Amino acid sequence: MPPASTTIVPVLPDQVAGGDGARQIANPLREGLRLERIPEPCTMVICGATGDLTVRKLGPALYNLMLGGFLPPEFSVVGFARRPISDDEFRELLRQGIDQYSRNRPVKPSVWKSFSRGIEYHAGDFSDPGSYADLVKRLDRIDRDRGTAGNRLIYLAVPPILYPEIVKQLGAAGLAETGEERRDAKRGWVRVIVEKPFGADIGSARKLNREIGEVFSESQIYRIDHYLGKETVQNLAVFRFGNGLFEPIWNRRYIDSVQITVAETVGVEGRGEFYDQTGALRDIVQNHALQLMTMFAMEPPVEFMASDLRDEKLKVLRAVKPMTVADVADNAVRGQYVSGWVEGHKVHAYRDEPEVDPESETETFVALKLGIDSWRWAGVPFYLRTGKAMPTRVTEIAVQFRRAPLALFARAGAPQFDPNILAVRIQPDEGILIRFGAKVPGQGLQIRSVNMDFRYGSSFAVDSPDAYETLLLDAMIGDPSLFTRGDESERAWEILDPVLRAWAEGHGGPLHFYGAGTWGPPAADELLERDQRAWRRL
């Protein structure tokens, strides 16, 4: 029998009568939600502006920021890509993306009219110095005409293989230099946002850090992981360090194990060539899953300053027990989906996807057991799993607590019930669930698990901002707290490098197959069963 569920919602005043009938009193928890954070005037340059990321994420995020009043009137966007289109055609491309993907759709004509005035398009080749020289002239003209003060945010919305060439050309054109470096009062700050995956292994990550670092300083580089922009992830610090109920039990004495799940219902969605060279370990575990683990397991920073927060996250990664190639078979499982059904739709096998090698050994599922060798977490296993073509789209961190002594109830004949669970749901239905035991009403002693469920939507009656909205605004303001530092990225690769080498050399266990619409291969269940544990049912 599934556990009973109780939804926790804020206690709100009842409707009260007004002059023209009943009206709803505003939710008091919404007060103070809109923290005014208006960046300085700036121009955002999007390299790869006609691609899917711009249409689906960046355009809608910028529009929503403008709609919410978070962007200055002088804000401008310059799209930079190879496609020979006009300013108006680029504006229409962005508008179509907003109408289709924005959480505030369709476009409001009055807001769009103001927003679109600052949108321009610059056609050019990423390897042509002349394209960058012309871009400099365009940006200087925008500074004069729109008062953007020489502040520039450059977003590399392109495949990672293009990063070195674009960064080199930006440096040669003087587009990486700040006003302080040039002693030019008309030139402001310059920041660059780099998308994942940041490298393909520890060697390529170090090389990429070195190449970008030759042009931009570390303080200018913003390595983006959109999971860190999600409201629930940011709430982890408040939940842990701001509540006397939870902070004392966040350690090995009370916590038995931690599970981090990043499950997707989709397959490769036409990205077969990219995904077949990447795989689930590089695509999700190296960044999203490990970043969630660091936010969950870090020590409280001295202050909520970017440097302190990132230092604590790095300490978690440094404390992860090193794994040798020989350890991989016992601590990692890789899988690949075959045909099946997901949410009522037939899904073809991964090897039958377009642009995928028919003999591909690329993993679409990973289950991993890690340990953090620190005073707080010694002996607590962290289980990470991610996969494509899963039954449900969900990202969550689930904490299983140690069982309380149950001799009292056992003598009374009550069967053992499930251990207490605390689950932080990152997406969808952002919120926090707590499961505990309660007596079933009636004669006799029967104990059943029940849920207390907090949801952001019902509690605050306001839409959470999209992760890209939060992160773009942070980058404009100059707050790198939710971005990955270079040493942090390299350490994540160091943790996973033995796994990649073991799989490449054939020492890390076989590639297991699982049906689309299932929770991965049986070997993933066996990974936990060896420890007398099981994956949480989602």
Known catalytic residues? 288
- C-alpha to C-alpha distances, 465 to 12, 107, 473, nearest whole angstrom: 23, 17, 11
The two tokens of residue 371 are 């340990």
Sequence-distant (6+) residues with CB within 8 A of 261 are 385, 386, 394, 395, 396, 398, 535, 536, 538
* Cis bond upstream, residue 428 (ω within 30): yes
Residue bearing tokens 């919305």: 157
CA angle 363, 365, 369 (to 5 degrees): 110
d(C-alpha 494, C-alpha 40), whole Å: 38
Q: What strands, in cross-sheet order, belong to the sheet with 43-47? A: 119-123, 76-81, 43-47, 152-156, 190-194, 221-223
CA dihedral 370, 375, 377, 379 (to 10 degrees): 70
The two tokens of residue 122 are 């610059």
Tell me whether residue 21 is exposed, middle or buried, using C-beta atoms within 10 angstroms of its C-beta: 0 to 12, 13 to 18, 19 or more. exposed
H runs (alpha helix) in 266-375:
272-276, 279-280, 290-297, 306-319, 328-331
Task: Residue 176: name the closest of 158, 194, 195 by CA.
Answer: 194
Residue bearing tokens 């899904």: 347
Sequence-distant (6+) residues with CB within 8 A of 203 are none
* 506 close to 349: Cβ distance less than 8 angstroms: no
CA R_g for the chain: 25
d(C-alpha 467, C-alpha 474), whole Å: 11
Q: Exposure string (b/e) for 54-80, b if CB count within 10 Å is 16 or more?
A: bbebbbbbbbbbbbeebbbebbbbbbb
Going by the DSSP 8-state scheme, the letter that residue 2 receives in this structure is: P
* 121 close to 85: Cβ distance less than 8 angstroms: yes
Strand (E) positions, 151-202?
152-156, 190-194
